[in-house]
Structure 1
Amino acid sequence: MSSSSNREKDRYNLTTPEVLANPYPTYRRILLENPVYWSDFFGGWYLMRYKDVAAAMQDKRISAKRPPVSKLPELEQQKILPLLETLSKWILFSDPPEHTRLRTLFNKAFTPSIIDSMTERIQTLVDELIDGVYDLGQIDIIHDLAYPIPAIVIAQMLGAKPSDREQFKKWSDDLARFFGMFRMKPEILTSAQQSIIEMTEYFRCILEERRHTPQDDLISRLIFAQEKENSLDDDELLSNCVFLTFAGHETTTNLIANGLLALLKNPHQMQKLKDDPSLITTTIEEFLRYDSPVQRQARIAVTDLEIDGKQISQGQRLFLMIGAANRDPEQFSDPDKLDITRPENPHLAFGKGTHFCLGAALGRLEAQIAINTIVRRFNNLRLDTDQIEWHENPSLRGMKSMPVAFNP
């Protein structure tokens, strides 16, 4: 089937560069016209309204334990079995009781006291990264700041070397392309599989080292829990180290960059934050609502059910459109306006219910420190280009680069 034929079946053109650059007018149109609709192109039901998305996130008839790819011939699935087997062990693709068991173990890395203890370390890292480019009067926010911050932090938590972050970025990019794939391209499947194999082996080496020489990091704590409780096997441990590495920086990178872009396009809001840095808490929540790093989550119906009069059959996919729900005028007043002082902000960027984001507190802290430091240290910050290029990914919303200039 030709690319043009594929696009014709995507009735709302959600995969065109124009819509990927700014999907929100299209989301609003769908929300008004057809808030629960079947897409042949994506092979699933789209839920656009806040109330439907929030309910689906907590509905036991709707499962997170879904195949990461659909419409893939059996022969092609056989070629990527190592990839599919690793993903099947991710906490992201599990339901209780497996999810409860895994989450209980991994929650130990994200307690409030552990997150609070990282504040000084993250602030030092942000300042060092800015110091490295400050005299130049220009910076690529993504490459020089928004990517390294969470990548270094999660690497240290898992016992990896911060100096390996470029390799992690390559692996992560391959997985992001896989999760954003809307046409089955063999080269994307092959690259994702190779990267996940390499990441698993990377952490396997760390696992063996920590078994002999434990340190104060997450992987050592997981080994201790594994040996004490016998509730986590090596494959599960390694698979979820890969997951945390990918999820732990991909979304935070985009939260920081997308949020800063929103401030640059709303200079009065930038000035408000500059005048009152204590607004950073509500600022980050508004970034998460206004331009969520995760635009949609996939689920699967485990039984027949009905949503808004539409009959969803067992085994069918549902796409929970977080980006649309977070701009639903029935839930948020003036939803297309960036308001960093918005008092009530029950956005769904981190999910809801059982699968609420494991690293939400860490992502918030990293973004708060990064954004406040950027606003404080960079004078006359401005975009250094008229054209922003977005990744071709309807699930993970992020820019390929973000060059900005400032007065040192």
Structure 2
Amino acid sequence: MLLMETARDLKHPAFIPDPHTVYLRLRTEEPIHWNPSLRGWVITRYSDLSSILKNPSFSVAALQPFLGHVGIDSRRKTERVSAVLADWMVLNDPPQHGRLRKALAKYFLPQEIAGLRPMILSRVEELINGFRGRNQVDFIQAFAFPLPARVISEPFGVSPERVEDLGEWSEDLKDFVALARSSPDKYDRAKKAVEDMAAFFRETLRDHSRNPRDDFTGRLLEAGAGPEGLSEDEMVAKLVLLLFAGHETRASLLANGLSWLLRCPASMEKLRLNPSLIPGAVEEMLQYVGPAQPVTRIAAEKMRLADANVRQGDRVFLALNSAARDSSVFPEPNSFKIGRNSNRHMAFGLGIHFCLGAPLARLEAQIAFDRLLSRLSRIQLETPQPDWHDELVTRSMERLFISYDMAM
């Protein structure tokens, strides 16, 4: 009975800790499911998600339909947030999407990101050094949360003393973007976070204009001077997006990945003995406990999906974490297998909206797990069960306490 109730209401408290029981039922019985609690279609099978993610008939311009479901008071509070989000490339269709993405796309190619390896390694070592003198830490606060902020800040010329501010702003914006359900002040915090971030990045852009330098912000300014140049508002929105998306998803990848690895000690020992397996292990973390849950699309026209009549303007929730457990694609989908062959996960999306920061996320996680397993021994979970944030869009934990010995 609880399963039926939870399937109808994906905002039910029982759904957060265990979405996969519901998703299994939906994949089996109703893979294209109208969910009254979300007022939209929930798509759960890998093949359907793959097709829709690459179909231009599904729009990413999801912001306005979302705002239509909030009250007048909340809408007033989010007007400033909406103005910034409207310039995010992930919330724009072609041709605007291509223009916004082009400005930095070449700087996030794998060969470009590889040049950041020494810096990432240095930041990882700094944080692990902070574990000294203690035998227990909250891994999220001590490592997973600060690392992405430090890594993404340096290429954009952000001074170290402002990195903590960026992390806090990102966290305050997350509850709004991730559709958190137990944060009554999320609109106020998101409004202030966006205002503070916008002011900070405007000053960053002006400082780079006065004092040119060869970093990602400098290159963004150069792109802004081209024939299809970006406005200052668009550049600010891009910087906010890169900070937010890069910080939140990579922090969750690190925490979720370590949490599950510690529940599979044989796999962890394999990685210690053979670090060359770490890249494959990171792909399994992305597939099995990835930070992205549903991504949203809007039906740009009336259409039929299997037996479902989808109306123009309907919201479609693409359950990435359900597709990751689809047995037609992933043998033994409910087992964490660091040596999985041909891991065709969609954690970074597909098509034109494939995540720009994927090479950075992969490299950062690979370096992090290599150094954590090299320098920490006898790592143990001190948080018996994951304490998941009450969010629909992202899969992230509140805290993750671990104990350990420092190997060196």
Q: 1:223 aligns with which of 193, 216, 221?
A: 221
Which residue of 1 is the match for residue 32 of structure 2? 36
Rounded Cα–Cα distance in structure 1 between residues aligned with 2:278 and 2:111? 20
Q: Does 1:48 align with 2:78?
A: no
Rounded Cα–Cα distance in structure 2 between residues aligned with 1:126 and 1:37? 43
Tell me which amino acid in the other structure corresponds to 1:44: G
Rounded Cα–Cα distance in structure 2 between residues aligned with 1:80 and 1:177? 13
Secondary structure at 2:209's aligned position in 1? helix
Rounded Cα–Cα distance in structure 1 between residues aligned with 2:281 and 2:335? 13
For the Cα contact (< 8 Å) 2:74–2:187, is it kept in 1?
no
Deviations 1:307-328 (A, max 9, x none): 1210110001000000000111
For the Cα contact (< 8 Å) 1:42–1:182, is it kept in 2?
no
Which residue of 1 is the match for residue 88 of structure 2? 90
Q: How many residues align?
A: 402
Q: 1:26 aligns with which of 16, 19, 22?
A: 22
Q: Does 1:64 align with 2:65?
A: no
Secondary structure at 2:11's aligned position in 1? coil
Secondary structure at 1:358's aligned position in 2? coil
Deviations 1:42-96 (A, max 9, x none): 1110000001111110011101112153412456434422111111100110111
Tell me which amino acid in the other structure corresponds to 2:22: T
Which residue of 1 is the match for residue 356 of structure 2? 358
For the Cα contact (< 8 Å) 2:257–2:282, is it kept in 1?
yes
Secondary structure at 2:298's aligned position in 1? strand
Tell me which amino acid in the other structure corresponds to 1:190: D
Which residue of 1 is the match for residue 251 of structure 2? 253
**Deviating more after overlay: 305-314 vs 355-364:** 305-314
Deviations 1:170-224 (A, max 9, x none): 2112211112326597621121111111101010011110011012211111111
Rounded Cα–Cα distance in structure 1 between residues aligned with 2:135 and 2:391? 31
- TM-aligned CA deviation for residue 379 of structure 1: 0.7
Consecutive unaligned residues of structure 2, counting only runs of 5 or more, are none
Q: 1:290 aligns with which of 276, 288, 294?
A: 288
Which residue of 2 is the match for residue 3 of structure 1? none
- TM-aligned CA deviation for residue 9 of structure 1: 7.8
- Distance 1:296-1:276 versus aligned 2 partners, 3 A rule: same
Which residue of 1 is the match for residue 187 of structure 2? 189
- Distance 1:23-1:9 versus aligned 2 partners, 3 A rule: closer
Rounded Cα–Cα distance in structure 1 between residues aligned with 2:310 and 2:316? 9
Which residue of 2 is the match for residue 270 of structure 1? 268
Q: 2:204 aligns with which of 203, 206, 213?
A: 206
Give the TM-score of the pair, scaled to structure 1: 0.94
Deviations 1:236-259 (A, max 9, x none): 000110011000110001111111
Consecutive unaligned residues of structure 1, counting only runs of 5 or more, are 1-6
- TM-aligned CA deviation for residue 14 of structure 1: 3.1
Q: 1:151 aligns with which of 145, 149, 152?
A: 149
Rounded Cα–Cα distance in structure 2 between residues aligned with 1:42 and 1:297? 13
- Distance 1:393-1:185 versus aligned 2 partners, 3 A rule: closer
Deviations 1:261-314 (A, max 9, x none): 111111111111111100111111110000110111011000011112101100
Rounded Cα–Cα distance in structure 2 between residues aligned with 1:185 and 1:137? 32
Which residue of 1 is the match for residue 127 of structure 2? 129
Tell me which amino acid in the other structure corresponds to 1:392: D
Rounded Cα–Cα distance in structure 2 between residues aligned with 1:342 and 1:184? 36
- TM-aligned CA deviation for residue 362 of structure 1: 0.2
Secondary structure at 2:391's aligned position in 1? coil
Q: 1:80 aligns with which of 67, 70, 78?
A: 78
Tell me which amino acid in the other structure corresponds to 1:31: R
- TM-aligned CA deviation for residue 157 of structure 1: 2.0
Q: 2:333 aligns with which of 323, 327, 335?
A: 335
For the Cα contact (< 8 Å) 1:142–1:402, is it kept in 2?
yes
Which residue of 2 is the match for residue 310 of structure 1? 308
Rounded Cα–Cα distance in structure 1 between residues aligned with 2:136 and 2:143? 12
- Distance 1:236-1:39 versus aligned 2 partners, 3 A rule: same
Secondary structure at 1:19's aligned position in 2? coil
Rounded Cα–Cα distance in structure 2 between residues aligned with 1:359 and 1:257? 18
For the Cα contact (< 8 Å) 2:380–2:404, is it kept in 1?
yes
For the Cα contact (< 8 Å) 1:304–1:314, is it kept in 2?
yes
Secondary structure at 1:130's aligned position in 2? helix
Rounded Cα–Cα distance in structure 2 between residues aligned with 1:187 and 1:147? 22
Rounded Cα–Cα distance in structure 1 between residues aligned with 2:26 and 2:233? 41
Q: Does 1:14 align with 2:10?
A: yes
Rounded Cα–Cα distance in structure 2 between residues aligned with 1:70 and 1:308? 28
Rounded Cα–Cα distance in structure 2 between residues aligned with 1:84 and 1:236? 13
